[in-house]
Amino acid sequence: MKNLYFYLLISILAGFGACKNGLSEKEALFVGNWRMQNYETNEVISPEYNTDISNLKSRFRLILLEDKTFLRDGFAATTETGEWFINNEGTLLNLKSENQAGTLFIEQIDNTTMVFSIEEGETRVKITLTKMQN
């Protein structure tokens, strides 16, 4: 009987560890250092803009921290910081900084890959990120 209580206690503690810092399991998937792997759009891309996209892929990083703050590099000359949150289903990632707010439509998220899309008018962009190991 003592062993049963011991295993029950260990199971409960392990469950608390999965949701550390008050994050849900879904939110915990988002936490990490993400780098751009792929960029797709439905627009025709000129050769010079295609070069810019290649440069963006090498510079871009999105770091989502456990305290629900983020850092984003690569789009602007300075590092953007702010807060992030997801909806209950984990299908929308909202980023809010001092200067702007935006919503990313999550198509796929797991321990290594995040795929999201952004739509503005007729333009659709789909970006694939890979989580970097610490």
The residue written with tokens 């980023």 in the block is 95
CA distances from residue 6 to 14, 46, 53 in whole angstroms, order as listed:
12, 64, 55
Domain around 72: 20-132
Q: Is residue 70 part of a domain?
A: yes
Q: Is residue 82 part of a domain?
A: yes
Q: Is residue 5 part of a domain?
A: no
Gap between the Cα atoms of 115 and 109, Å rounded: 7
Q: Is residue 67 part of a domain?
A: yes
Give the count of domains, the chain. Answer: 1
Q: Is residue 3 part of a domain?
A: no
Residue-level pLDDT, tens digit, the chain, 134 residues: 444 333 333 333 344 444 456 899 999 999 999 999 998 888 876 666 656 777 777 889 999 999 999 999 987 778 999 999 999 999 999 999 988 899 999 999 999 999 999 988 888 999 999 999 86
Question: How much is the pTM?
Answer: 0.78
